[in-house]
Structure 1
Amino acid sequence: MDEPIQLDALGAGGPYRSRSRLPIRELGGRPVAELSLVPRLYVQRTMAALHRARTMPADERASALTRAGRLFETGVVGGLGAEEYRHIVSRVSGMPITVVRSAASGIAHRAGEAYRTTRYARPEGAVDDWRDPLTRSGQAVWTRRGDVFAVHAAGNHPGVHTLWLEALAMGYRVAVRPSRREPFTPHRLITALRESGFGEDQVALLPTDYSVADDVIRDADLAMVYGGEEVVSKYGDDVRVLPQGPGRSKILLTEDDWERHLGTIVESVSAFGGTACVNTTAVFVRGDPAPVAAAVAERLAAIPSLPPEDDAAVLPVQPVTDARAVEKYLLDHVDGATPLLGGDGIVHDLGDGSGVLRPAVFLVDRPDAPQTGIELSFPCVWFAPWSPADGVGPLRNTLVLTAMTRDDDLVDRLVDDPSIRNVYLGDAPTFWMPQWVPHDAYLGEFLMRTKGVIRA
């Protein structure tokens, strides 16, 4: 058997292989890698080194990010070629290989554009440097709120590693605690960044067990943490932490011509294997939602069950015991909803220890049904009736809301509602997220501030 890939911690003193190593297994249970878990003292020393380090000049940061993006996408990094990296991520995470390829290209592109895209968040009246001639008569200067940024990363999609690249572009030193589910992407990306010009005291990978995880956050100036409701509850009141919780993205249909939007609805539910926070989890229909739900269910039912490394794969795959646990959670929460797809189960056992999570479509009988807030890691969507009398209440707490409506007054209320973070009008899928559009606001809004400067 091949020796497992060693995913070393990447601290301020270079790669570190600890005695405590976590086996990373592919979907069938075979160990393919070992992730070094670092102790508390190692975290403290690394974070202290990041605090002591000097920020790289802006032009050097921009150039290094561009080089790192190219190396990440096409080069040999840490002994892994690009295609080998994509294959192993697919086999470990269960993400369809086409999604992994697209995500790798997206990371490379966003790395090259990271410095430029931070400009979208900068106030129009601010400049980047106190040396700018405009400060002679008084000007706002855009400055960091701190020096060290920590990230507790998610493993549901490689694309989560595009966002913190902007922190590097803005001059932060960054420490990433990777997900145990998929540590290959951050390890490859940080190795590529170091090989492209970022020092070992500029960006670090700190895999830890749960008892040490909070030390990474505590020793940073600011942090971003991915997770479920428990993460939002734990960090929601900490002004130093930006929680990235469930998306609960939704679609609202208020017109009768829903057939022309059917493709957008299906793609919004199923893109990325249904694993992303921008996937649609609830559709609200003015009038009877049943015909729309039936049409969506018919299309989703036609998606084949395939291993994730197959180029035709669309659906996510998990170890079969994990897939059965997801299935049980879903069926335990049906609670009177009408199944159109998946009511008898959603796991297709591939016979190799892994199972495909097949789509589920359910009807609920009221817009405030609690199931519309359930977000799962596969294409699962709840259809509910909606009327103007219901207002925006059922649509709140949403990362992306696609509203297919001609009611401008309703749009005003949706855009004004602070719990709806993005509003797309018309035939725009909920996963549409180009680099110039904020995800959950611009990251720069959290990391930066303006400071008045005058050189009299």
Structure 2
Amino acid sequence: MLDALGPGGPYRTRTRQQVADVTGAVVAELSLAPALFVNRTMKALRAAAPLPAADRASALARAAELFRTATLGGLTPGEYEASVSRVSGLPISDVRVATQTCAERVSHSYRSVQLARPAGAVADWRDPLVRSSQAVWTRRGDVLAVHVPGNHPGTHGFWPEALALGYRVAVRPSAREPFTAHRLVLALREAGFGDDQVVLLPCGHQAADALVRGADLAYGGDEIIRQYADDPGVLSLQPGRSKILLTADTEWRDHLDMIVDSVLRHAGSGCVNATAVLVEGDAAPLAGAVAERLAVLPSLPPHDEKARLPVQSVKSARAMERFVLDRAAGTRAWLGGTGFVDELGDGSAVLRPVVHQADSAQAPQLGTEVPFPCVWVAPWSREDGCAALRDTLVLTVVTEDHALVQELIDEPTISNVHVGSHATHWHRPGLPHDGYLGEFLMRSKTVAHV
């Protein structure tokens, strides 16, 4: 039983949503908070004062360790990871890595937000530098609503930065995978954040809308957030469409391990997984080599230690198969062209890798992102330039052309550039993911103090 976690503690409602695993078996019930409870909770968050900065920093460090090691909500770390694997279909080995990654991000939250602060601003108006005309970095509001997508547990590693900045945070968990949000909120509360500092509000669409309206700012990636795409107070997570570019002055065969790893890591479920690979010259040999590597992966249930591929219910997997095969019309299939769903006989199915070759860098398929190892390979030429690489979360570029690198860094719609043989999923705490979250949550303000 996964209760809502309100300002008065756990709250079990009469209206609940079943959480099923990939075979269709019910593994949990999620309490759905009504709009009235959401409204009261948001008022309680607004009335609460933030913890002192030093207390926030130490509480985040404790919460990270609790998330990683403690029994929370009746689940040991191993039981939590098994539950996430069952309902998300992610291989258990990937979930274990995600636990460590999420904990590491949370532990570094306070330091990470300081890196986002402009050099010309200080964090506290009482800082002596304010007397010499230094700006002060201040919150744009007091309450943040978070709607976290359920594609990967690692997505929860970023929103605790809002707590580091003194926000009170209301989290609406994904109904597909609510265990990570539930566990993290419990860890944060046990570490020292009060029940009026961070809450968990599972809810339906009407109450979710009330959650956004009751906050100063909102952040996330579900359909509720996308309804507010034009609202400057809402930060909507966009598809990654991460890509790799290899120019003719490099030998792509030397980087094949990196290319396959970029496609396959996290079972291909993340926004940082490579969606497209572009190569200057003939794309066919590279597409064939990637397909050969991915074809040998076994089809296994997610709890198997050797599993590397994601699993969904047969119904969801078949719907994904129809979508991708329809989208792939006109491309050359190197892997998965006649189907890629491998049923396991228990109501679930493995989404096996797909490799298709497009005939140009402008092919629309290159922007198609799906939550499993599916990659579109295409030729790229100097005439294509940056236009073919726009709207990219992470671009790995393997080239000796420094002018091209500069052009890619200057392109506003490319969020991150990895120069050299760095996998698209590479990241470390302190670096921006899609910009710093602090850039959205904070502003610099002149404070005259003499």
Tell me the TM-score normalised to structure 1 length: 0.97
Contact 2:260 / 2:294 at 8 angstroms: preserved in 1?
A: yes
Q: 2:318: which partner in 1? A: 324
Partner of 1:127: 122
Please say if 1:52 is aligned against 2:40. no
Q: Secondary structure at the match of 2:126?
A: coil
Q: 1:13 aligns with which of 8, 12, 18?
A: 8
Preserved contact between residue 227 and residue 246 of structure 1 (Cα < 8 Å): no
2:415 alignment partner, SS class: coil
1:209 and 2:220 correspond = no
Deviation, 1:231, is 5.6
* Structure 2, gaps ≥5 residues long: none
Q: Which residue of 2 aligns with 1:111?
A: 106
Aligned to 1:3: none
1:381 aligns with 2:402: no
Aligned-pair distance for 1:212?
2.2
- Tell me what 2:89 maps to: 94
Task: Determine the structure 1 residue equivalent to 2:267.
Answer: 273
Q: Distance in 2 between matches of 1:186 and 1:331?
A: 34
Paired residue secondary structure (1:194):
helix
Aligned AA (1:284) = L
Matched, 1:241 2:234: yes
Which stretch shifts more, 375-384 or 112-121? Answer: 112-121
CA deviations over 1:63-99 (Å, ceiling 9, x no partner): 1111111111111101111101101110111011111
What residue number does 2:29 align with?
34
Q: What are the superposed Cα offsets for residues 359-409 of structure 1, whole Å, 9 maximum, x if unpaired?
A: 000011111111111000100000111100111111100001111111122
- Inter-partner Cα distance in structure 2 for 1:227 and 1:150: 12
Contact preservation (8 Å) 1:403, 1:426: yes
Distance in 2 between residues matched to 1:139 and 1:383, nearest whole Å: 50
1:394 aligns with 2:388: yes
Q: Which amino acid aligns with 1:110?
A: R
Are residues 1:441 and 2:438 paired? no
How far apart in 1 are the matches of 2:413 and 2:213? Answer: 28
Q: Deviations over 1:272-329 (max 9, x none)?
A: 0000000000111111100001000000111111111111111110111111111111
Any idea what the Cα deviations from partners look like across 1:407-452, whole Å, max 9, x if unmatched?
1221121111111111111101110111122100000111011111
Tell me the residue number matched to 2:247.
254
Distance in 2 between the 1:259 and 1:276 partners? 25
Deviations 1:34-87 (A, max 9, x none): 000111101100001000000110111111111111111111101111101101
Q: How many pairs were matched up?
A: 449
1:285 aligns with 2:276: no
Counterpart residue number, 1:226? 221
Residues 221-245 of structure 1 show CA distances to partners (whole Å, capped at 9, x for unaligned) of 11112148x965x333210011101
> Structure 1: which 5+ residue stretches go unaligned?
1-5
- The 1:227–1:281 alpha-carbon spacing in structure 2 relative to 1, beyond 3 Å, is farther
SS at match of 2:108: helix
Secondary structure at the residue paired with 1:250?
Answer: strand
Bigger mean CA deviation after superposition, 205-214 or 379-388? 205-214
Is the Cα–Cα contact under 8 Å of residues 225 and 234 in structure 2 kept in the other structure?
A: no
Q: Alpha-carbon deviation of 1:126?
A: 1.4
* 1:382 partner letter: W
1:151 to 146, 153, 165: 146
Tell me the amino acid that sits aligned with residue 321 of structure 2. E
- Tell me if structure 1 keeps the 8 A contact 2:333–2:357: yes
Distance (Å, rounded) in 2 between the aligned partners of 1:13 and 1:282: 48
For 2:47 and 2:228, locate their aligned partners in 1 and report how far apart those are by CA, in whole Å.
26
1:426 and 2:408 are equivalent in the alignment: no
Flag the 1:145–1:334 CA change in 2: closer, same or farther, 3 A.
same
Task: Give the aligned partner of residue 161 of structure 2.
Answer: 166
Identity %: 58
In 2: Cα distance, 1:124 partner to 1:171 partner: 20
Residues 1:176 and 2:174 aligned together: no
Offset of residue 116 of structure 1: 1.1
Q: Distance in 2 between matches of 1:398 and 1:213?
A: 29
How far apart are the structure 1 equivalents of 2:129 and 2:205? Answer: 48
Q: How far off its partner does 1:28 sit?
A: 1.2
- Taking only aligned residues, the RMSD between alpha carbons, in angstroms, comes to 1.2
Cα deviation 1:170-190 (Å, max 9, x = unaligned) = 110001111011000000110
TM-score by length of 2: 0.98
- Residue pair 1:284, 1:386 contacting (<8 A) in 2 also: yes
* Partner Cα distance (1:123, 1:383) in 2: 39
